[in-house]
């Protein structure tokens, strides 16, 4: 009955990133850092992990001579997030 919660998503910062990205079409790295109150270093590591498993896509480009990193959730990421929420609901129902 219990499905193990996705270990990639069951991490505070990674879940926060995914929750932000599921709500918007795409977001800049600075936006995610500001909303999650995280450090640039920690956020970079977690963004990289999410990218490696294919949950998000990362686009690095230059805008007005400044580097700009844009993150976007992928269809795989959407599916993983939906499954995570479904499993979470199962846990919470049983826990009641």
Partner 1 sequence: MPEEKEFSEQDSLQLIAEMIKKAKGSYHDTGIGSLLWGAVVSIASFMSYLQREYNFTLLIDIWWLVFAAIIPQLYISIKEKKNVKAKQYDNDVVNAVWLVFGISIFALSFFQNIVPVQTEKLFAQDGFTLMKHYTDGRVDEVIKPFTPSLYSIYILIYAFPTMVTGMVKKFTPMKVGAIVTYGFFMLSLFTQSKYDMLLGSASALVCWFIPGIILRKKYLAQITLNV
The residues of the shown chain that bind partner 1, judged by CB under 8 A, are: 5, 10-13, 15-16, 19-20, 22-28, 30-31, 34-38, 42, 45-46, 64, 85, 88, 91-92, 95
Only one residue has tokens 């929420």, namely 85
At residue 68, φ and ψ (nearest 5 deg) are -135, 125
Cα separation values, 19 from 1, 8, 32, 37, Å: 25, 13, 10, 14
Task: Give the SS3 label for residue 55.
Answer: coil
Is 25 or 60 the residue whose CB approaches partner 1 more closely? 25
Is 16 or 58 the residue whose CB approaches partner 1 more closely? 16
To partner 1, the closest distance from the beta carbon of 77 in angstroms equals 14
Is 30 or 76 the residue whose CB approaches partner 1 more closely? 30
To partner 1, the closest distance from the beta carbon of 42 in angstroms equals 6
Other CB atoms within a 10 A radius of the CB of residue 55 amount to 24
């Amino acid at each position: 009955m219990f499905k193990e919660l996705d270990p990639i998503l069951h991490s505070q910062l990674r879940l926060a990133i995914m929750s932000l990205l599921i709500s918007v079409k795409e977001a800049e790295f600075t936006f995610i850092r500001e909303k999650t109150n995280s450090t640039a270093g920690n956020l970079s590591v977690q963004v990289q992990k999410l990218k490696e498993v294919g949950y998000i896509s990362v686009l690095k480009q230059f805008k007005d001579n400044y580097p700009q990193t844009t993150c976007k959730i992928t269809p795989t990421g959407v599916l993983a997030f939906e499954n995570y929420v479904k499993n979470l609901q199962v846990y919470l129902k049983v826990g009641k």
